[in-house]
Amino acid sequence: MHDVFFDYLQKFSPDPLSDDEKALVTQTFVASRLRKRQFMLQEGDLCKHFAFIVKGAMRMYSVDDKGIEHIVRLGVEGWWMGDRESWSMQTSSLYNIDAWENCDLLYVTREDTFELMKRVPAFCEMLRHLDERNQIANNRRLMSAIGSTAEKRYTDFVECYPELFERFPQHIIASYLGLNKDTLSRVKRQYFRKKDK
């Protein structure tokens, strides 16, 4: 599993990873598997690890007082999953994270992340790049939620995240977009009708 992460990490550096860097990454990233619907994190727990998804699909969500799930994040191969607020602030998580499909993961602790930042330049560059992308994605999602029509939200999702559109069912996508299933069905029909013209 670590070879997949080496290839991913190499995208963030013009220089190849050294044997020492690979050894450190292998030592600090722990391989693990989750079965479908198995939790990585449950509401109220401290997020002690972030996970790099080698294989599979995951979701991060909250559950309201009526038992309705609200999807906050989705992830597939080559994406990261964890509760950043709990991880950074060392507070109890407000979210659940579970495997939507069987998953192969590489876990890293907060302490090991700091060590890798000091000793593996490609890892540090990767974090910088991910922080930038995460900020942009969060801002776009916020603006979409407060100012875009259901049609625009759906179109943007399909065009920006085709890998998510193909892996998650309609009710999960509806929750992620803040729509009910009926609205999403209507929007989806309109979208594909326009594409077929």
pLDDT tens by residue, 30-75:
999 999 999 999 999 999 999 999 999 999 999 999 999 999 999 9
The torsion angle over the Cα atoms of residues 116, 103, 49 and 92, rounded to 10 degrees, is 160
pLDDT at 196 over 90: no
pLDDT value of residue 177: 93
pTM above 0.85, yes or no: yes
Q: Under CATH, which number does the domain 2-119 receive?
A: 2.60.120.10
pLDDT value of residue 182: 87
Helix, strand, coil distribution of the chain in percent, nearest 5: 50, 20, 25
pLDDT value of residue 197: 64
Give 29's DSSP letter.
Answer: S
User: 32 forms bridges with which residues in the sheet?
Assistant: 105
pLDDT value of residue 193: 79
pLDDT value of residue 188: 86
Average pLDDT, stretch 139-151? 88
Report the mean per-residue pLDDT for the chain: 93
- Least reliable range by pLDDT among 8-17, 32-41, 110-119, 185-194: 185-194
- φ, ψ dihedrals at 151, nearest 5°: -60, -45
Give percent of the chain with pLDDT exceeding 90: 75
